[in-house]
Structure 1
Amino acid sequence: MPIHYQQALEQIRNMGQKARLRQAWLEALREQAWQLLHELAGEGEYLNTLAERGGRFNPGLRCALAGAEPLDTAAPLTVSGQPRVLLAADGSQINPGRHGAVEFIAINVGAVCFRPGEPPREQIHTSLRFGEDCTIDRRPMSDADVAIWRDLEERRLLMELAHPHSQAGQLVVTLTDGPLQLFGQGQESKFFEEKLKEYLGVLRELAAPRTAAAGYVDKPRSDYLVGLLELALLARENKLGEAGRERPLWPVRDRDLFARLLGPGERSAVLAMRLPEPNPFTDKLALYCFYLNVGRAGHAQIARVEVPRWVAEEPVLLNLLQEVLVEQSAQLGARPYPYLLHRAHEVAVVHPDEIEEIERMIQAELRRQGVEPENPSNKQWAKELQGRTRINA
């Protein structure tokens, strides 16, 4: 049956009335955060001390840490024009499903390479798991488990593609969509710990003086900087023991501040990221971020760019990233997003007919080996039947 639109309309109108009141409340909080940002822009050492103290009360505290640049920095775009190799990878996944005739998992990673003076090159890497390989410690792999595997395979492919260029001393930019933090961080499982160890090893292999590795987060919901500013408010009320738990500026987001601060092409100060303990990203893999306005005048589009320490501490690589991301995002016009990442997604995406073809291939191979596939579940059969014909009572 269709949605009961009259019931939905009544709820939507009620939501609309609340949204108008919420907007006024949110604007007041944003203004408070804006004033606090300018007041404390040069007080990075004081704020970092508060974060250290707050972390003792709450090891799960997640916030920014100030660096050498003032917090209200708006670094302009500089164009170097240096030759560079651009690499991007993105992945698609087929999650396990118990209702089909065969249970399998697939990871499809697509990569795109742009080298000076050459047409782009594309590469696809497909990995499959079937049957008992779709389990971990005798439990079915979850969607989150598959996502961890996908994230690892994306970075592994980038590392392999970047290695010959970095060895030759070329400037290299590697991009993935989303944060550099491994999806599912904080999980307590042997599988996650194994994949995290592999992931950190891949990042170490990727580290090179002329390689700018980054994770690009479009329309970020993060509040790392806001979380740092909140510590000052809590300290003033002698409530630092509630760091990370009491949120006086929630739900203000970092992009609310940077959309007002940054002009087109400008980036924010580089911020260290204080992650919950235990934090596996240490030494040259310690994570930093900056915010970037890839939009145009009057239409700010704020992205968060995550980078490891070896990039954060090298001005040449930071400037290169800023230049490449602004340049790439401009190619999609009024909806700015790095074209390189868009191409990688197009390469990696798996369509429904391809999923069906993989399933047919698996069933055919099983039969060739003398193994008859199971029947799909009755629920799946009924869904497929409904798609083909309508059952009359």
Structure 2
Amino acid sequence: MLDLTKLAQQMQGIGQHLNQEAATVRQRLDRATVLVAQAAERQAELVAHHDTWGDRLGFTAACPIEPLDTAVPLTAAPNAHSVLATDGSQIAPSHHEIAYCYLVNVGRVALHYGQSRYPLLDSLPEVFYRAEDLYVSRQWGIRTEEWMGYQRTVSEAAALADLAIACQSPQPGAAPSLAMVDGSLIYWFLDPLPHEARDRLLPPILAAWERLRAARIPLVGYLSASRSSEALNFLRLHTCPHATPDCQTHCAGQSETAPCQVLTPLRDTVLWGLRLQPGQRGPFWRSSAHILSLYGEHTIYFCYAHVGSEIARIEMPEWVALDDTLRDIALSLTLTQVQKGYGYPVALAEAHNQAVVRGGDRSRFFALLEQQMIRAGLQNIGTSYKEARKRGSIA
């Protein structure tokens, strides 16, 4: 139980601290605005520096493929279109439950506008209970709970590709479709994993994306309240005091105190919130995350868009970003989804609602599992004393 009286004593200084932080942010925003204007004048030179010295940088900086002052209005979606989305949830394994297993539940949503087609809202549950599912990650030092989350990402990608292709109309000139993912398409968690573990996760995801590419169904990752500074980090090339931005030579061990660190801890969304009007997008950027070297032609590009309620980061694979038709479809349908969802894409919100596993669902899952174990002739089935005691209180 939370003691609010004791908590209030610790929060007295938060207001003053936040006021000081707000003043600092305003100063850095003014500085960032000046740096963007200066960097735009020598953008080609900075891009060349990025391409030449990118492997020597001590930070991840995206590379712009359009002028820094780009502000393009997004077009409205056509009346007839389809939006497809998946999201996942899970029941984590526990040694205190009646059986050590885990469940991944993928919510699926297909919304068809102006086509007289029924929507689809359902979920696909999958139980993992075999030894090769539960313990395969132990050989790489990965906990089963972590591996479960990685498997969920793979299941979401495969389910989205299956759904999008199944819902695609075979008629030429049919209404455009968009496949949406909640969150980033850059799977940072793969970077530190051993090669063997990574090879079990990334290829199925890229194979699902390749199926979308073959069907010409654009894919986007929608990030609300993004915390990324990839675009702002590009400005550090401009503020670098050295002739060449070789961080490993000039600023080794100074990642937090380097002379180019004049904007930290600003985020991209804060700056583009000042530069974009509602319904506009900023320039497209090519992400330089290290893991993208394994993506091939699916490397990730992104832009920031003012969707009315916030500045959203919209990511898409290269084959979408560099195709004018697919890119425009992706952006227009994304904006329309946000408007229909009153600030957040309605398809993603509904996919989450379909996927989420609530307390009652968890109880029914283990009750069903217990029934199956009894039918199989197993005895002494039950939770641990610790789990049973935590579920009740004598106080």
Tell me, yes or no, whether TM beats 0.5: yes
What displacement does 1:106 show?
A: 0.8
Partner of 2:278: 264
Partner of 2:147: 145
| Letter of the 1:349 counterpart | V
2-structure distance, mates of 1:119, 1:167: 17
Specify which of 377, 387, 390 is matched with residue 370 of structure 1.
Answer: 377
Does residue 186 (structure 1) correspond to residue 191 (structure 2)? The answer is yes
Partner of 1:32: 31
2-structure distance, mates of 1:168, 1:43: 48
Partner of 2:9: 10
What displacement does 1:210 show?
A: 3.1
Contact 1:231 1:240 in 2 (8 A): no
Specify which of 278, 288, 294 is matched with residue 280 of structure 1.
Answer: 294
Partner of 2:265: 251
Does residue 19 (structure 1) correspond to residue 18 (structure 2)? The answer is yes
Contact 1:61 1:276 in 2 (8 A): no
Deviations 1:268-301 (A, max 9, x none): 1111111125721222x01100111111xxxx51
Gaps of 5+ in 2: none
| Letter of the 2:290 counterpart | P
What displacement does 1:34 show?
A: 1.6
Q: Note closer, same or farther for the CA distance 1:46–1:329 as it changes in structure 2 (3 Å cut).
A: same
Specify which of 173, 176, 185 is matched with residue 181 of structure 2.
Answer: 176
Decide which moves more: 364-373 or 167-176: 167-176
Q: Note closer, same or farther for the CA distance 1:114–1:332 as it changes in structure 2 (3 Å cut).
A: closer
2-structure distance, mates of 1:54, 1:19: 37
Decide which moves more: 49-58 or 356-365: 49-58
1-structure distance, mates of 2:328, 2:291: 31
What's the secondary structure of 1:211's corresponding residue?
coil
Partner of 2:321: 312
What displacement does 1:176 show?
A: 0.9
Does residue 293 (structure 1) correspond to residue 306 (structure 2)? The answer is yes
What's the secondary structure of 1:41's corresponding residue?
helix
Contact 2:221 2:315 in 1 (8 A): yes
Partner of 1:350: 357
Normalising by structure 2, report the TM-score. Answer: 0.88
Q: Note closer, same or farther for the CA distance 1:209–1:370 as it changes in structure 2 (3 Å cut).
A: closer
CA RMSD of aligned residues (A): 2.4
Does residue 222 (structure 1) correspond to residue 235 (structure 2)? The answer is no
| Letter of the 1:286 counterpart | T
Partner of 2:95: 98
What displacement does 1:137 show?
A: 4.4
Gaps of 5+ in 1: none
2-structure distance, mates of 1:372, 1:231: 66
What displacement does 1:5 show?
A: 2.5
1-structure distance, mates of 2:290, 2:50: 12
Deviations 1:216-253 (A, max 9, x none): 11111111110111121124586641499343311110
Deviations 1:111-166 (A, max 9, x none): 11123232312232111112633222447744332221111111111111222427
What displacement does 1:42 show?
A: 5.0
What displacement does 1:354 show?
A: 0.9
1-structure distance, mates of 2:63, 2:81: 31
Does residue 136 (structure 1) correspond to residue 136 (structure 2)? The answer is yes
Alignment: residue pair count: 378
Q: Note closer, same or farther for the CA distance 1:383–1:179 as it changes in structure 2 (3 Å cut).
A: same
1-structure distance, mates of 2:188, 2:107: 18
Does residue 111 (structure 1) correspond to residue 108 (structure 2)? The answer is yes
What's the secondary structure of 1:118's corresponding residue?
coil
| Letter of the 1:314 counterpart | D
What's the secondary structure of 1:86's corresponding residue?
strand
1-structure distance, mates of 2:79, 2:35: 39
Deviations 1:194-233 (A, max 9, x none): 1112112221222137311111111111111101111211
Partner of 1:83: 80
| Letter of the 1:205 counterpart | R
What displacement does 1:265 show?
A: 1.1
Q: Note closer, same or farther for the CA distance 1:176–1:166 as it changes in structure 2 (3 Å cut).
A: farther
1-structure distance, mates of 2:19, 2:120: 49
What displacement does 1:44 show?
A: 3.3
What displacement does 1:353 show?
A: 0.9
2-structure distance, mates of 1:53, 1:373: 65
Normalising by structure 1, report the TM-score. Answer: 0.88
Q: Note closer, same or farther for the CA distance 1:51–1:10 as it changes in structure 2 (3 Å cut).
A: farther
2-structure distance, mates of 1:368, 1:187: 43
Q: Note closer, same or farther for the CA distance 1:260–1:2 as it changes in structure 2 (3 Å cut).
A: closer
| Letter of the 1:357 counterpart | R
Q: Note closer, same or farther for the CA distance 1:278–1:71 as it changes in structure 2 (3 Å cut).
A: closer
2-structure distance, mates of 1:355, 1:199: 28
1-structure distance, mates of 2:134, 2:105: 16
2-structure distance, mates of 1:378, 1:75: 61
Contact 2:212 2:218 in 1 (8 A): no
Q: Note closer, same or farther for the CA distance 1:161–1:21 as it changes in structure 2 (3 Å cut).
A: same
